[in-house]
A and B are shown apart, each in its own frame.
Chain A
Amino acid sequence: MQWLTDNFITILDGVAFGLLLFTIAIGLSLILGVLDVLNLAHGALYLAGAYLAVQFFTGRVSIWVFLLALVMASVLGAGAGAGLAFMMRPLAGRGHLDQALLSLGVALVLADLISAVFGNDVHTVSPPGFLSGSPQLAGFTYPVYRLAVILVGLVLALVVYLVVERTRLGALARATVIDAPMVRAMGVDTRPFVAGIFAFGTVLACVGGVLGAPILGAYPGLDQYVLILGLVVVVVGGVDTVRGTLVGALVIGQVEVLGVSLLPRYASFLVFATMVVGLLLRPGNRMRVAAS
């Protein structure tokens, strides 16, 4: 118990980071689970959102500027998603590897473009004015922004859960995960559906970038960091349920933050060790070698 109190701040940081990871990972998970496409450009899209925050969050940042940044990130993300879906279409018959390769090419091009425009410096971003500061919280001081991220993350998880479980789009998505050819045979026009799923995922990546900028900053290479962690969450949490991704994200977020804080020398191992453990413990779902 003492340990918990001593490390309460870190644990809370872990929750905030975990929910931020959820924002990233759920998009990746949906695109992979529903469309069977590994979107390697996901990290680059996060990075785009982060640099968007770099541009917007300078000087006095009111709530309107903040919301504008989020809206712009959504538009950017949606456009990118629809664009990616459009680019993927001719490759649909050629298998998932080619689609993943295409996303890799896009990721590399996008990351380099961002580098060309913004340079190679490491940018730190301050939280917007109305969310800055660290009030007293039961004897601890804790940054408001991280609490905001936790709140937004939870709301987002709820929204995604409701969309996936309660809407027609979500029902179609779940059906496609189970039996894609059947869904097509039912006459569902897959093109807007595919674009929709893609856009949903990429919007989350970009918005995640804006939200995460005050926490993670913006710099070349961040896209790879985010992509890797997103992949680890997908491996650990699976692609079949929103809850799985949420649990996976919270676990990985916690492991990463606690690891860096308590065992900095071994931080990276802990995350990947968790992934290996997750792989070994859940042989089902995507990781199962199917007997056909």
Chain B
Amino acid sequence: MTPVLEIDGLSGSYGSIVAVDDVSMRVAPGARHAVIGPNGAGKSTLFGLVTGALDAGSGRVLLDGRDISDLPEYARVRAGVTKTFQQPSLFLSLPVLDNVALAVQRAAGVGLRMLRPGHRYRNVHRTAVDHLAAAGLFERRRDPAGTLSHGERRQLDLAVALATNPRVLLLDEPTAGMSAAATAHFIELVVALAPRVTTVIVEHDLDLVFGVATHVTVLHQGAVLADGPPHLVRGSATVQQAYLGDGVVESLFY
């Protein structure tokens, strides 16, 4: 089965610091693919390289078998790869609804239309409202995004990303700072996304990862350390050592 997303020998550096080192990875369609690793392992950078937000030194990115490595970021997003941001990145002065509508209207191809007032694009409006409702933010739709709490901004950020209709959604530490209830809600959401949307999740919450993921890749110092089904990765001594160093290896994953 063709992987929906394939990363082939991808590398990227900040000046002389190699952040991502020859990483290869295959994401199966409909998978919930987790990327884990200690801090500084290059996980966020990897996402940036995949979507084109950062320039790769070498390597390829393939979406449904098609090489998108030469496409600029916006083109990759149109092709179907979207990522969220570690810190919610929103349009703070615009109403919550507009934040989502911007994503929807672009997907609908009406972003440059000048004649009709924005809200008269019924389909765009309805789709945006639906996304908001699913995120539990319907009541806040007219408030400027800047007035939302941090948790609400995270939810909005996710709703905006989903509104781009991605094939592959890269979630960068989506549950950081979330309450248990919000995390549970988030898990439901991610599970419901398959098989239409494939998710790749960078996470630190290992309970979540091993509860939800169908496949796990471990990064360490920019390179792939382990890659496989959760139960195999869990038991790997090299992975445990990477997290804990050379000290006493206590049980980390159980």
Q: Mark A255-292, 1 if CB is under 8 A from B, else 0.
A: 00000000000000000000000000000000000011
> Does any Cβ of A come within 8 Å of B133's Cβ?
no
Q: Mark B70-94, 1 if CB is under 8 A from A, else 0.
A: 0001000000000000000000000
Q: Min CB distance, A263 to chain B, in Å? A: 41
Query: What are the residues of chain B within 8 A of A291 when measuring CB–CB?
Result: 48, 53-55, 73
A292 to B55, CA, bound (A): 10
Q: Mark B48-80, 1 if CB is under 8 A from A, else 0.
A: 100001110000000000000000010000000
Q: Min CB distance, A292 to chain B, in Å? A: 7
Query: What are the residues of chain A within 8 A of B73 when measuring CB–CB?
Result: 291
Using a CB-CB cutoff of 8 Å, which residues 123-156 of chain B contact chain A? none
Total A-B contacts with CB atoms under 8 angstroms apart:
6
Query: What are the residues of chain A within 8 A of B55 when measuring CB–CB?
Result: 291
Interface residues on B, range: under 10
How many chain-A residues does the 8 Å CB contact rule pick out? 2
Q: Min CB distance, B73 to chain A, in Å? A: 8
Q: Min CB distance, B74 to chain A, in Å? A: 12
Shortest Cβ distance from B85 into A: residue? A292
A291 to B14, CA, bound (A): 12
Q: Min CB distance, B106 to chain A, in Å? A: 19
A127 to B73, CA, bound (A): 59
A116 to B68, CA, bound (A): 63
A292 to B73, CA, bound (A): 11
Query: What are the residues of chain A within 8 A of B53 when measuring CB–CB?
Result: 291-292
Q: Mark A110-122, 1 if CB is under 8 A from B, else 0.
A: 0000000000000
Shortest Cβ distance from B48 into A: residue? A291
Q: Min CB distance, B121 to chain A, in Å? A: 30
Q: Min CB distance, A98 to chain B, in Å? A: 15
A291 to B49, CA, bound (A): 11
Q: Min CB distance, A94 to chain B, in Å? A: 13
A226 to B55, CA, bound (A): 39
Query: What are the residues of chain A within 8 A of B54 when measuring CB–CB?
Result: 291
Q: Min CB distance, A129 to chain B, in Å? A: 55
Q: Min CB distance, A243 to chain B, in Å? A: 21
Q: Min CB distance, A142 to chain B, in Å? A: 47
Shortest Cβ distance from A292 into B: residue? B53
A292 to B89, CA, bound (A): 11
Listed in ascending order, the chain B residues whose CB lies under 8 Å from chain A are 48, 53-55, 73
Provide a sorted-by-A list of 6 A–B residue pairs whose CB atoms are within 8 angstroms.
A291-B48, A291-B53, A291-B54, A291-B55, A291-B73, A292-B53
The 6 closest A-B pairs by CB, nearest first: A291-B54, A291-B53, A291-B55, A292-B53, A291-B73, A291-B48
